[in-house]
Amino acid sequence: MSNIVGIEHDRVTNTTSTDFPGYSADSAGSDWDLEKFKKSFNLYISYISERTANFDLVGLDTSIANAFRRIMIAEVPSVAAEYVYIFNNTSVIQDEVLAHRIGLVPLKVDPDQLTWINSEADEKDKFTDDNTIVLSLDVVCTKNPNASPDSTDPDNLYRNHKVYAKHLKFEPQGRQVELFANNPVVPCDPNILLAKLRPGQEISLRVHCILGIGSDHAKYSPVSTASYRLLPVIDIKQPIVGKEALEFQSCFPSGVIDINEKGEAYVKDARKDTVSREVLRHEQFNGKVKLGRQRDHFIFNVESSGAMPPEEIFFKSVRILRNKAEYLRNCPIGNIN
């Protein structure tokens, strides 16, 4: 039971953290063992799509799981707009607001194909085809000569009156002509609305996109969200049958509790439980069920912003954490920055 965080109606029990990963009161005095960890650690993949991945990490300490989460959000590099050069903007949206909206547009570009910009270099030497992606935006709104005389629909009355992310055009520089020949840089979501125009208004600008990390600005974070939760544990201590079984089932989200042919309630899929503690409000179930969460079973959900597949983001977080560990291992004591 030391591996279960207890969930009661008014409190959470057994929440004491460990001194180091893998330590527990049951193994007090013993060192962390790599071979034992290899045998107990498991990774289960529920599903992976283009933008979302859901998987379980079992046998980890909270500190390690949380390190993966934070690295995915704040330290995995991606590419985003950093400098916006506005030549003409006669729309109602202010220059700085338009630049901010462009900066938050996720771009489909492999960050490994760019190098980090040298912030100490002279302005004329700072941007190169190795470290910078150039995008352009040139849109002019005009009247539609074929519009219906009695129409009030802007989509019918005007042309280019909505400026979308898809209007950002990639302008390859130098070696980028060959490097991105088969995969030109485009917005991950082409229909993000940037601005609205009326006849005679126009926007003309250039954008320089560079590498960055989420800890510098949220626009560089490659994930929409990266989160985890502990696996719910529902321990039925006494048989629950008949009408009580139906009421017990209704205390949980659909699919968590089922009833067998004997009319007895059983746990069908604890993963679907939200641990609402609704069942603890009913006196008839006192002593018949115990709720908890498994301390070392983490259910991860990673949603990519689109630049990279979610599994690639996780793999990169593992490599970054490994590099941090190698740095600490090789760094002389007292010289850690």
Tell me how far CA of residue 130 lies from CA of 114, 135, 298, in angstroms.
Answer: 6, 15, 39
Supply the range of the domain harboring residue 172: 78-221
Report the candidate in 236, 263, 228 with the shortest Cα–Cα distance to residue 252: 236
Confirm whether 290 is domain-assigned. Answer: yes
How confident is the model at residue 251, as a pLDDT? 94
Residue 88 identity: N
How confident is the model at residue 61, as a pLDDT? 87
Confirm whether 320 is domain-assigned. Answer: no
Beta-carbon contacts of residue 42 (< 8 Å; ≥ 6 apart):
56, 57, 58, 59
Question: If DSSP codes are grouped into helix, strand and coil, which group holds residue 29?
Answer: coil
Residue 193 shares a structural domain with residue 153: yes
pTM greater than 0.85 (yes/no): yes
CA separation for the pair 239, 168 (Å, rounded): 63
How confident is the model at residue 336, as a pLDDT? 58
Number of domains composing the chain:
2
How confident is the model at residue 22, as a pLDDT? 60
The CATH number given to whatever domain includes residue 136 is 2.170.120.12
Cβ neighbour number for residue 28 with a 10 Å cutoff: 8
Which runs of consecutive H residues, i.e. helices, occur in 273-330?
Answer: 310-330
Residue 198 shares a structural domain with residue 117: yes
- Regions of the chain with pLDDT less than 50: none
Residue 98 shares a structural domain with residue 175: yes
Confirm whether 311 is domain-assigned. Answer: no
Residue 167 shares a structural domain with residue 271: no
In DSSP terms, 24 is beta-bridged to none
Residue 115 shares a structural domain with residue 14: no
Q: What is the pLDDT of residues 66-93, one digit of tens each?
A: 999 999 999 999 999 999 999 999 999 9
The two tokens of residue 169 are 């055009």
CA separation for the pair 198, 154 (Å, rounded): 9
The two tokens of residue 158 are 């005007």
Are β-strands 257-259 and 265-267 bridged in parallel, bridged antiparallel, or unpaired? antiparallel
Residues in the chain: 337
Final residue belonging to a domain, choices 221, 248, 271: 221
Confirm whether 329 is domain-assigned. Answer: no
How confident is the model at residue 130, as a pLDDT? 93
How confident is the model at residue 37, as a pLDDT? 85
